Structure 1
């Protein structure tokens, strides 16, 4: 039974990783003409115009928009909730496959490195922006997944 669970987890992890790549790097091309608008800018100009290094700036803008109706509610909900749940499965998959990632501190450091890498690649390839709030929401989502993984309920199911 454990082999079947491992195979199912392995296959679902591959599909999850493919979906992440599509969302993070490929999907931006289909969302709009972002790549065409920024094509003439140097990397430094692109960095300045498409990055957010101020923690909670984007999050507070979206929360404010939810309450005052200044934006279509789908946009802040998709961005806030989407960034939270996008990496929630990572908090389950990584400790399942890599047993050494069983402490929250090790997991958090690994996620910070991963998210920094992803945000930087998005910036350099101009497939997105570097947003510290995405970084924060992705980390919180991954930690929620890790907390679920470490819960007594899940650990009892695995034994």
Structure 2
């Protein structure tokens, strides 16, 4: 039974990576503004103010100032997009079993993803995306640390 669980887990990891690449780099959300210089593009498409877009989306949920699925997709999509990474990462890299190591690795990975999105013009650098992605990954990491999950996958 454990062997079947591990096979399913490995297949789900490959599917997760594929979906993640599509969502982050190949989807239709990219701006692709080739008429702007890179500096202009970064200035126009980036958010370096923590909680700026999160606050906008939360406010919109209450005052209905935008279509409700926009804040829901952005907040919960970013939150849950990296939740599986919090489970897969410590499973595949046994050295990342402390929260401090996990935070360092995820921070590097998430900043790298945000930078690649800007450089390829397939998205923007948004510190709020980073915050929500990190929070989701930490939730996943805590799920990984649960004894029932450890028993199931070890």
The TM-score, its normalising length taken from structure 2, stands at 0.94
Counterpart of 1:7? 7
Q: Secondary structure at the match of 1:40?
A: coil
Write the distance in 2 (CA, Å) between the matches of 1:88 and 1:69.
28
Aligned residues: 154
Alignment of 1:46 onto 2:29: no
- Distance in 1, matches of 2:67 and 2:142, equals 32
Determine the structure 2 residue equivalent to 1:56: 51
Separation in 1, partners of 2:152, 2:15: 23
**For each residue in 1:77-124, what CA deviation from the matched residue of structure 2 results, as whole angstroms up to 9, or x when unmatched?**
000000000000001111111111111110111000000000000000
Question: Corresponding residue for 2:127?
Answer: 132
What's the RMSD between the two structures over aligned residues?
1.4
Report what 1:153 is aligned to.
148
User: What is the alpha-carbon distance in structure 2 between the residues aligned to residue 99 and residue 20 of structure 1?
Assistant: 22
Distance in 1, matches of 2:150 and 2:86, equals 14
TM-score (norm. length: structure 1):
0.92
Give 1:32-111 correspondences, 5 Å limit: 34-35=31-32, 38-111=33-106
| Farther-moved stretch of structure 1 (4-13 vs 134-143) | 4-13
Q: Is the counterpart of residue 27 in structure 1 residue 27 in structure 2? A: yes
Structure 1 runs of 4+ with >6 Å offset: none
Offset of residue 12 of structure 1: 1.1
